[in-house]
């Protein structure tokens, strides 16, 4: 009974225990403010919603199961969520939406910081109940590990006041989106704290958090107050017209080395803590694909959405040959994982996992 089950302070220490998502019963949710702002105007997803075709669900599950088995073969404990019925609507006193999303990307919902797993507020209405998919696991960790802290951020109300109405017009255009991103004018307002867990990167004592569509400044302030022993840094990437989740933009590989999306470079005035401490920020390789797969919310930059197994080993999607080649040159052993046909369900190799245990403690990398 006295064992540590939950412990993970960064993105690169040796991984020993992880959650891998499932595609079961995944839905394309109905239109709603923050989700619509993320779907590109020419996307095949505009105007349609409902359960995803069963053959695509089966294929995604096949790939996720194979990935889980690959990790297990390396001695990593893998847990899977228990999917709820995502066809159920989400109704609260403040809003109603016709269906949920799924439980393929646990990284969006669960933030592991040391012995704590924190359920994020989320900012899409369709994802309001997504944490329920992970409750059986978190309950089990709580039974097994007396030091495990299971925390949940305050559930947001997600009324219309949470969203800027100018983002909801039919055609905005990429130029205006880029201008708004530069001005830090995102779809979410500062009505109440909002954050998705996938906007947070863990660097020991420092948490780096993307301010964008899914995380607002109040969300970042909430994290600052919740983790008083950490330094919490807000960053933003003006080259991204659809800024959700930091993990296809900024990817730490090991202490001292970060990949940065060359279309979404970290602005100079936000590089100080890395430069002062000798960290190298290198442009990621180009993606191997010109477009995302059908019915996919994410960009082609899932190429850099990799899962680091330890400071010398990284999982890269099998078709992302340029990214794999770059990892090799950077001295990393590459583990190829086939996942592209599951991208549509919520992301890549980092998105579809959530850390439970990595070796190591809370280091200060930016003294």
Segment near ligand ABU (CB under 6 A); pick from 152-160, 227-235, 241-249, 275-283:
241-249
Decide if residue 301 touches ligand ABU (CB under 6 A).
Answer: yes
**Angle formed at CA 7 by CA 5 and CA 9, multiple of 5 degrees:** 170
Our answer to whether residue 196 is catalytic in this structure is yes
295 torsion bin: left (phi>0), alpha (psi -120 to 50), beta (else): left
Q: What is the C-alpha R_g of the chain?
A: 19
- Checking DSSP bridges between strand 206-210 and strand 231-235, what pairing results, if any? parallel
Residues that bind ligand ABU (rule: CB under 6 A) add up to a total of 10
Segment near ligand ABU (CB under 6 A); pick from 150-158, 205-213, 294-302, 318-326:
294-302
Other CB atoms within 10 A of residue 54 CB: 9
> What minimum distance in Å lies between the beta carbon of 367 and ligand ABU?
31
Decide if residue 259 touches ligand ABU (CB under 6 A).
Answer: no
At 195, list the tokens. 């954050």
| 149 membership: H or E segment, kind and range | strand 149-152
Our answer to whether residue 240 is catalytic in this structure is no
Decide if residue 347 touches ligand ABU (CB under 6 A).
Answer: yes
| Cβ closest to ligand ABU, residue 32 vs residue 247 | 247
Residues pairing with 290 in the sheet? none
> What minimum distance in Å lies between the beta carbon of 299 and ligand ABU?
4
| Cβ closest to ligand ABU, residue 6 vs residue 258 | 258
| Cβ closest to ligand ABU, residue 247 vs residue 310 | 247
Our answer to whether residue 352 is catalytic in this structure is no
Please name which of 252, 262, 247 lies closest in space to residue 322, comparing C-alpha atoms: 262
Decide if residue 315 touches ligand ABU (CB under 6 A).
Answer: no
> What minimum distance in Å lies between the beta carbon of 276 and ligand ABU?
28
Please name which of 155, 118, 102 lies closest in space to residue 347, comparing C-alpha atoms: 102
Single out the catalytic residue among 27, 86, 230, 245. 245
Q: Which of 248, 258, 284, 352 binds ligand ABU (CB under 6 A)?
A: 248
| Cβ closest to ligand ABU, residue 192 vs residue 199 | 199
Please name which of 217, 160, 152 lies closest in space to residue 184, comparing C-alpha atoms: 217
> What minimum distance in Å lies between the beta carbon of 165 and ligand ABU?
23
Output the CA–CA distances (angstroms, integers) from residue 255 to 206, 332, 359, in the order listed: 12, 13, 14
Decide if residue 247 touches ligand ABU (CB under 6 A).
Answer: yes
Decide if residue 299 touches ligand ABU (CB under 6 A).
Answer: yes
The beta strand positions in 163-290, using DSSP E, are 200-203, 206-210, 231-235, 250-254, 257-260, 280-283
Single out the catalytic residue among 196, 247, 310, 355. 196
| Dihedral, 130, 136, 142, 145 alpha carbons, nearest 10 | -120
Decide if residue 298 touches ligand ABU (CB under 6 A).
Answer: yes
Decide if residue 245 touches ligand ABU (CB under 6 A).
Answer: yes
Q: Residue 292: exposed, middle, or buried by beta-carbon count in 10 A (0-12, 13-18, 19+)?
A: buried
| Cβ closest to ligand ABU, residue 6 vs residue 306 | 306
> What minimum distance in Å lies between the beta carbon of 202 and ligand ABU?
16
Residue with tokens 């995380």: 215
Residues pairing with 358 in the sheet? 15
| Cβ closest to ligand ABU, residue 240 vs residue 310 | 240
CB 129 within 8 A of CB 155: no
| Cβ closest to ligand ABU, residue 60 vs residue 198 | 198
Q: Which of 198, 207, 337, 344 binds ligand ABU (CB under 6 A)?
A: 198
Per CB under 6 A, residues contacting ligand ABU are 198, 244-245, 247-248, 298-299, 301, 347, 351
Q: Catalytic residue numbers?
A: 196, 245, 351
């Amino acid at each position: 009974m006295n064992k540590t089950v939950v412990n993970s302070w960064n993105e690169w220490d040796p991984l020993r225990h992880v959650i891998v998502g499932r595609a079961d019963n995944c839905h394309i949710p109905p239109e709603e403010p923050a989700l619509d702002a993320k779907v590109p105007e020419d996307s095949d997803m505009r105007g349609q919603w409902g359960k995803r075709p069963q053959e695509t669900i089966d294929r995604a599950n096949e790939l996720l199961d194979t990935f889980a088995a690959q990790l297990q073969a390396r001695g990593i404990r893998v847990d899977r969520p228990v999917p709820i019925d995502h066809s159920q609507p989400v109704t609260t006193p403040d809003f109603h939406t016709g269906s949920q999303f799924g439980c393929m990307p646990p990284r969006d919902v669960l933030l592991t910081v040391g012995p704590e797993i924190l359920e994020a507020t989320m900012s899409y209405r369709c994802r309001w109940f997504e944490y329920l998919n992970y409750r059986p696991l978190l309950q089990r960790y709580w039974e097994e590990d007396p030091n495990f802290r299971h925390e949940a951020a305050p559930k947001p109300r997600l009324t219309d006041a949470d969203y800027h109405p100018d983002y909801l017009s039919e055609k905005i255009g990429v130029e205006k989106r880029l201008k708004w991103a530069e001005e830090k004018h995102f779809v979410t307002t500062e009505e109440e704290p909002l954050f998705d867990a996938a906007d947070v990167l863990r660097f020991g004592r420092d948490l780096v958090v993307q301010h964008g569509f899914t995380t607002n400044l109040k969300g970042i302030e909430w994290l600052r107050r919740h983790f008083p022993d950490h330094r919490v840094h807000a960053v933003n990437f003006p080259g991204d017209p659809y800024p959700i989740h930091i993990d296809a933009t900024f990817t730490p590989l090991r202490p001292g080395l970060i990949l940065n999306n060359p279309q979404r470079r970290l602005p100079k005035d936000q590089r100080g803590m890395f430069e002062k401490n000798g960290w190298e920020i290198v442009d990621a390789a180009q993606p191997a694909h010109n477009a995302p797969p059908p019915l996919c919310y994410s960009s082609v930059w899932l190429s850099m959405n990799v899962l680091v197994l330890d400071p010398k080993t990284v999982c890269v999607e099998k078709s992302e040959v340029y990214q794999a080649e770059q990892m090799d040159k950077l001295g990393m052993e590459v583990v190829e994982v086939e996942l592209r046909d599951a991208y549509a369900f919520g992301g890549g190799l980092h998105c579809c996992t959530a850390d439970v245990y990595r070796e190591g403690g809370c280091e200060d990398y930016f003294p």
